[in-house]
Structure formats: C-alpha cells, structure tokens
C-alpha cells in the first residue's frame, strides 16, 4: 500500500495524475487530502482509504473506499461516497451509500444518506439531511436537531426534524394491503385471534390475544357453517 497525497496543482480533477504528485491512487493505496492546491471536485478516487484532514475539502467527485473525514465534505455540489464514512469534521452535502459513523464533534448538515448512520456521542451533531436508512442515535437527543428521517431511529429520538414511520411499519398499515379495505396489520389481528385467542359458542366467537374483545363473531347454522361474520379490526 502506497500513500498518495493530493496536491491539486493543475486542476480539481482526481483523474489527473499531476494532482496526486504524478501517480493516481489505486485500490491498494491510501490517499490524503490535506487542503493543498485546488480542492478535489471532479473525477474518481479508488483508494482503499482516504483521509481528509482538518484543512482538507472534497466538494465533488466519486470515492469508492473508506473515508475518514476531519475536514469538509461537499459544498455547492455533493461528492458520492460509496465506502464507509467516519466523520469527525463537517458533511455539508454528500451522497452516502454505505454506513456513516458520525463521531465526536462530527457535524452532518445536508445530503442524502441511503445507509445506516450511527450518531455516537453528545458531541455528534445532525442539523439536516435526508436519511433513508436507520439512524442509531446513541447520544443526547439534542444532538439531532434537524433532518428528514425515513428509516426510523434507534435510541433517543431526534429533538426536532421530520420522522417518518420506518418501512416495516408503513407496510403493516398499507391501505388495501391484503384485500380492499384490509391492511396487513388488521389481517394479522384476525389470524392471531383465530389461531391463538380464546373461543366460545362452539367456535363461533374468537377473542383477541388480550382477551378484551371479540375479534371474530360468527353466526353458525345447524351444520356449524358460518352464515355471517362480524370482525373487530381495531
């Protein structure tokens, strides 16, 4: 593994060897972006590991390896991060597709996160962004003060922001999810009552699992056949 250092001497393109001191990082290399020259804003970095120092910035481009960010990711545009991102700097705007670990004093203030984000401490701040994966918020709730959350939150809920139900819950309550006017949650209530609830009236009535209501109330004829059924789906 070789260490390739960004010099940015000729342009902002990571596909230009002169911007890396003559050799473009490969999959076996470690790349360092420390603020020298023009900040990378185009091209692709395939380095296995990328270290963006406190003085470094990556405003655009594609990164396929693990990124340790102590500086700034994004700006007017957003870099695409396909590897794990460990952030103790600032993510202004980024498209992240693998796990993001927002460490102590790390700030996330924008971007789209199609991955799990772990907020590790009271000093890990989330101010904004669109989060499509699960947020693991292990810190003080006031550390999360903005953003839109589609994948749910594990741990302490955000202090503010928009929190949508995670996908599993949404599917349970999908309108007409099983049949017309019957959601999956409602269908499961009926099935559980029939399979495990107490029954009376020779099997005409089945109680809910809490035994607090009749979930299924049927009318039986002399042959034991159901001629009418009333369901309590609530």
pLDDT tens figures, 168-201 = 566 777 778 888 888 889 999 999 999 999 988 8
Domain co-membership, 131 together with 226: no
Q: What's CA 216's distance to the chain center, in Å?
A: 39
Query: 216 in helix, strand or coil?
Result: strand
Domain co-membership, 84 together with 125: yes
CA distance 106 to 124: 5
Domain co-membership, 78 together with 183: no
Domain co-membership, 20 together with 67: yes
Domain co-membership, 131 together with 191: no
Domain limits for position 213: 173-231
Q: How confident is the model over 203-210, as a mean pLDDT?
A: 91
Domain co-membership, 75 together with 181: no
Confidence of residue 223 (pLDDT cuts 50, 70, 90): confident
Domain co-membership, 139 together with 48: yes
Does 145 score more than 90 pLDDT?
no
pLDDT tens figures, 43-52 = 999 999 999 9
pTM over 0.85: no
CB 20 within 8 A of CB 4: yes
Look at the chain and report how many structural domains it folds into.
2
Burial, 172: exposed, middle or buried (Cβ in 10 Å; 0-12, 13-18, 19+)?
A: middle
Domain co-membership, 29 together with 133: yes
Domain co-membership, 110 together with 219: no
Domain co-membership, 81 together with 177: no
């Amino acid at each position: 593994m070789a260490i390739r250092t960004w010099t940015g001497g000729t342009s902002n393109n990571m596909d230009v060897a002169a911007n890396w001191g003559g050799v473009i990082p490969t999959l076996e290399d470690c790349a360092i972006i420390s603020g020298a020259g023009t900040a990378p804003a185009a091209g692709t970095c395939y380095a296995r590991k990328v270290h963006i120092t406190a003085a470094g910035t990556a405003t655009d481009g594609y990164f396929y390896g693990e990124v340790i960010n102590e500086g700034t990711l994004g700006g007017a545009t957003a870099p695409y991060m396909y590897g794990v991102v460990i952030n103790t700097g600032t993510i202004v705007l980024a498209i992240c597709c693998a796990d993001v670990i927002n460490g102590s004093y790390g700030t996330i203030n924008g971007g789209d996160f199609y991955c799990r984000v772990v907020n590790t401490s009271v000093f890990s701040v989330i101010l904004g962004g669109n989060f499509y994966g699960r947020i693991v918020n292990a810190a003080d709730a006031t550390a999360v003060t903005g953003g839109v959350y589609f994948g749910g939150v594990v741990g302490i809920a955000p202090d503010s922001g928009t929190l949508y139900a995670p996908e599993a819950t949404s599917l349970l309550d999908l309108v007409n999810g099983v049949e017309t006017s019957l959601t999956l949650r409602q269908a499961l209530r009926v099935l559980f009552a029939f399979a495990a609830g107490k029954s009376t009236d020779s099997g005409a009535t089945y109680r809910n699992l809490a035994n607090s209501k009749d979930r299924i109330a049927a009318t039986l004829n002399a042959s034991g056949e159901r001629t009418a059924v009333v369901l309590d789906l609530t």
